[in-house]
Amino acid sequence: MFSLPLRDGARLRPLEIRHAEEFAAHLDRAREHIRPWVGPAFVTDSLDGARGTLSRYAERQAADGARLFGIWLDDGTLVGGVMFTSFDAASGSCEVGCWLEPAGEGRGLITPACAVLLDWAFTERGVHRAEWRCRADNERSAAVAKRLGMTLEGVRREAWPFRGTRYDAQIWAVLAPEWRSAGGAARTA
């Protein structure tokens, strides 16, 4: 399968069922750090749970839906990834997301990795609209959406439950003509 360079030796490649042990070890390092920001079904706590998450994404990809990609540092350590949390070519829309463990932060990996996904969705698959959703208090996630040229379209009030508190959620989006006119992935490299 493919492996694309990001920066500083980091690489983006598909995260597959065969990576279950590595993914489980990564989640052990990342779990508490990412838990407030990602869906609870993604943050598993066992090898079987990791295998289940990877299997769900594999099934969705086989049905031309959601897809999952890992980010590996040059030493071979999986530190996070990006994904299509939803992908619907027929309706021309998708949603992109990401996660990182602390060892992957501050390296400038997420924006170019997401740009690869968006470029593929817009140029290869003819998607018209890509969304990004995050908790309104997740400033780092909102900053990625801005760097990707997305527009904040709205806030879903108290739509994100976490540990007994409900948080507002932001919805960002970029349209294919906007992506192309801004230079697409070249702008984020």
Full-model pTM: 0.94
CA-CA distances (angstroms) from residue 160 to 6, 40, 141? 31, 11, 15
Domain regions of the chain by residue span:
4-188
Six token digits for residue 115: 């740009």
Structure confidence by residue, pLDDT tens digits, 43-69: 889 999 999 999 999 999 999 999 999
Q: Which residues of 78-112 are buried (b: 16+ CB within 10 A; e: fewer)?
A: bbbbbbbbbbeeeebbbbbbbbbbebbeebebbbb
Look at 1 and 48; give whichever has higher pLDDT: 48
How, if at all, do strands 129-135 and 93-100 pair?
parallel
Spell out the CATH class of 4-188: alpha beta
- Classified as helix, coil or strand, 177 is helix
Average predicted confidence (pLDDT) for the chain: 94
User: 2 in helix, strand or coil?
Assistant: coil
Q: What count of other Cβ atoms lies within 10 Å of the Cβ of residue 34?
A: 18
Neighbours of 17 (CB within 10 A): 14
Beta-carbon contacts of residue 36 (< 8 Å; ≥ 6 apart): 135, 162, 163
